[in-house]
């Protein structure tokens, strides 16, 4: 990997999508709390996630922290082998399994949603000369909007760019990015990532909480003998002091 990414994949991506409207910070598995402290996650609008062999080393408490924040509104961009990460599988609720092959073959990514914000500035298709193949069936939910479909020189096809909504957050899975090929220097790949970051920016942040609320209007038909379970428990707890 260091042959193409001497400073790491995360640094190559940060340099490639850097722009005046983006404030980019880096986080890595070996950092304390994987670089994703509660303060950092709460201050992040969009998180880009790449992972490979060390998915099992990611702490569940960090996954839960990110999962909660996505449901509240934070955007998440999951790259390549991140399809098997704990966070992506948690948000999808499926195995996220697929077929794969490393043969350094050509990939052609077809842009089938040219009006979508993520595909702006991308032509009808673009090609990557040497990639790791991912093939169907890709076990993801059917509610995703497919933005890109890939064809590989060996004959397979793959849903290589799929957008989801989870809670108040937006999630985008993008297939290219095997660590032994210089894919994160490709201008089209970087264009897609920059577009995805801007698309996934939260419109709001809203905590997902269940709240017992007072009625807005007077309830004239209220049954005095009908007490909610929550209120009953609270009264009993108080009475048992």
Q: Using only the alpha carbons of the chain, give its radius of gyration.
A: 22
- pLDDT (average), residues 120-136: 98
Instruction: State yes or no: pLDDT of 133 exceeds 70.
Output: yes
What confidence tens digit (pLDDT) does each residue in 65-106 have?
A: 999 999 999 999 999 999 999 999 999 999 999 999 999 999
If pLDDT is split at 50, 70 and 90, which confidence band does 228 have?
A: low
If pLDDT is split at 50, 70 and 90, which confidence band does 55 have?
A: very high
Q: What is the pLDDT of residue 227?
A: 59
Instruction: State yes or no: pLDDT of 232 exceeds 60.
Output: no
What confidence tens digit (pLDDT) does each residue in 191-214 have?
A: 999 999 999 999 888 887 788 888
CA distance 217 to 105: 66
Q: Which of 183, 203, 194, 188 lies closest to 148, judged by CA?
A: 188
Q: What is the pLDDT of residue 202?
A: 95
What are the helix (H) ranges across the chain? 9-17, 38-42, 60-72, 86-92, 187-200, 229-240
Return the C-alpha torsion angle 65, 146, 168, 88, nearest 10.
Answer: -10
Whole-model pTM? 0.89
Instruction: State yes or no: pLDDT of 23 exceeds 70.
Output: yes
Q: What is the pLDDT of residue 207?
A: 85
Q: What percent of the chain has pLDDT over 70?
A: 93
- pLDDT (average), residues 142-148: 98
Instruction: State yes or no: pLDDT of 237 exceeds 90.
Output: no
Least confident of 43-57, 172-186, 208-222: 208-222
Q: What is the pLDDT of residue 235?
A: 46
Mean pLDDT of the chain: 92
Q: What CATH class does 9-200 carry?
A: alpha beta
Return the C-alpha torsion angle 119, 123, 127, 132, nearest 10.
Answer: 10
């Amino acid at each position: 990997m260091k042959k193409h990414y001497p400073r790491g994949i995360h640094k190559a991506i940060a340099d490639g999508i850097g722009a005046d409207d983006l404030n980019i910070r880096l986080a890595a598995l070996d950092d304390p709390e994987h670089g994703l402290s509660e303060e950092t996650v709460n201050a992040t609008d969009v998180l880009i996630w790449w992972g490979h062999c060390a998915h099992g080393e990611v702490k569940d408490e960090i996954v839960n922290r990110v999962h909660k924040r996505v449901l509240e509104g934070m955007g998440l961009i999951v790259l390549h082998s991140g399809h098997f990460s704990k966070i992506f599988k948690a948000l999808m609720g499926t195995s996220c399994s697929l077929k794969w092959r490393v043969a350094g073959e050509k990939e052609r990514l077809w842009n089938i949603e040219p009006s979508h914000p993520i595909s702006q500035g991308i032509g009808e298709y673009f090609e990557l000369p040497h990639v790791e193949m991912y093939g169907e069936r890709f076990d993801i939910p059917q509610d995703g909007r497919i933005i890109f479909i890939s064809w590989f020189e060996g004959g397979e096809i793959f849903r290589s760019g799929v957008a989801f909504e989870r809670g108040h957050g937006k999630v985008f899975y993008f297939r290219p990015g095997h660590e032994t090929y210089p894919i994160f220097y490709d201008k089209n790949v970087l264009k897609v990532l920059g577009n995805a970051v801007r698309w996934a920016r939260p419109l709001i942040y809203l905590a997902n909480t269940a709240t017992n609320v007072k009625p807005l209007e007077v309830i004239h038909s209220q049954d005095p003998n009908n007490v909610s379970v929550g209120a009953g428990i609270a009264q009993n707890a108080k009475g048992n002091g």
